[in-house]
Amino acid sequence: MIKQFTPAQRFEIPKDFWGYGNPKTSEILFIGIEEANDWSISQLAECKKAWALESLDDEQIVDWLIGKMEKRFITNDDWPPRKTPYPTTSPIERMQAYLALRLNPATSDTKMKPSEYMAKGCFLREREFQANVFPIGCNGAGAWCEDTLRWFPLPASKERYRQDVLGHRCKVLEVLIGTMTTKLGESPVIFVMGKQIWDSKHVWKSVEPILNVRRFLTCEGLSGFQHSDDFSVWLTPHPSFGGISYEQADKMLELINNNKMRKN
């Protein structure tokens, strides 16, 4: 039986959604500006195929997904077994998997390829957590797709939606970071990806205070990157736009891991 939600509930539940992964075990937090996928009929069809849920109609699959979001965060155990392989071609997800596999070599399988890690279904589950400032995505477009507006009572203006929920979402992310810090005994390594997009959308000035970073520094050989004094918070270009090379990722990892070794 699929729990049914009203349009108002579908709007409110994502506002409190933390993201994907296990905040009790994750060492890394990736923060993006918004979900990459929208709620279009084609996206819902992909979900049905992936988890063999073709018997559900479109509104039922929306409510099935909202039901997952209702528990605040989604771990690997919350999904049924996939019937199709996990996609391994997304540039941002491949980079995130690469960073996750090589952070803290003492506990990582540094020889595993990102595609292997993702295909095993491990990605964004135990070692790393994926959060977004805005939980209702629209696939990079400037406006909501018509299907998304069928399920959610959203304002016509995407910018109006951002203004309405940004303050609340910052409080949610602050609680998430606090929870991860408490479980780890130290702050997680945080990657704010696509910082240049955040600036253009006037989002950064609201998110920056919750990171508790006194100042951000630049680093030789990493043009377009900034980091905190202790290398635990990084502002990076967006991997989907070719903004992070694997050489640059290795440089970041070297700085992060060396600092961890000095602290220990």
**Digit-coded pLDDT (tens) for 150-204:** 999 998 888 889 999 999 999 999 999 999 999 888 889 999 998 877 877 789 9
Q: What whole-number distance in Å separates Cα of residue 6 and Cα of residue 140?
A: 26
Task: With a cut of 70, say whether residue 106 has pLDDT above it.
Answer: no
Task: With a cut of 60, say whether residue 123 has pLDDT above it.
Answer: no
pLDDT of res. 167: 96
Q: Are 60 and 2 in contact (CB under 8 A)?
A: yes
Task: With a cut of 90, say whether residue 13 has pLDDT above it.
Answer: yes
Residue 18 lies in a domain: yes
pLDDT of res. 259: 82
Where does residue 164 rank: exposed (0-12), middle (13-18), buried (19+ CB within 10 A)? middle
Q: Are 169 and 15 in contact (CB under 8 A)?
A: yes
Structure tokens at 242: 């070719």
Residue 2 lies in a domain: no
pLDDT of res. 248: 95
pLDDT of res. 5: 97
The domain containing residue 78 runs over which residues? 7-263
pLDDT of res. 232: 94
Residue 156 lies in a domain: yes
Count of domains for the chain: 1
Residue 232 lies in a domain: yes
SS3 category, 61: helix
pLDDT of res. 142: 66
**Cα angle vertex 233, ends 231, 237, to 5°?**
105
Residue 1 lies in a domain: no
Task: With a cut of 60, say whether residue 48 has pLDDT above it.
Answer: yes
Q: For 79-95, write each residue's pLDDT tens digit.
A: 888 888 877 778 888 89
Task: With a cut of 60, say whether residue 139 has pLDDT above it.
Answer: yes
The average confidence (pLDDT) of the chain is: 88
Among 123-127, 227-231, 244-248, the range scoring the smallest mean pLDDT is: 123-127
Task: With a cut of 90, say whether residue 44 has pLDDT above it.
Answer: yes
pLDDT of res. 154: 92
Task: With a cut of 90, say whether residue 210 has pLDDT above it.
Answer: yes
Report phi then psi at 247, rounded to 5. -65, -40
Compute the Cα dihedral for 63, 65, 71, 77 and give only its sign. positive
Q: At 263, is the pLDDT very low, low, confident or very high (cuts 50, 70, 90)?
A: low
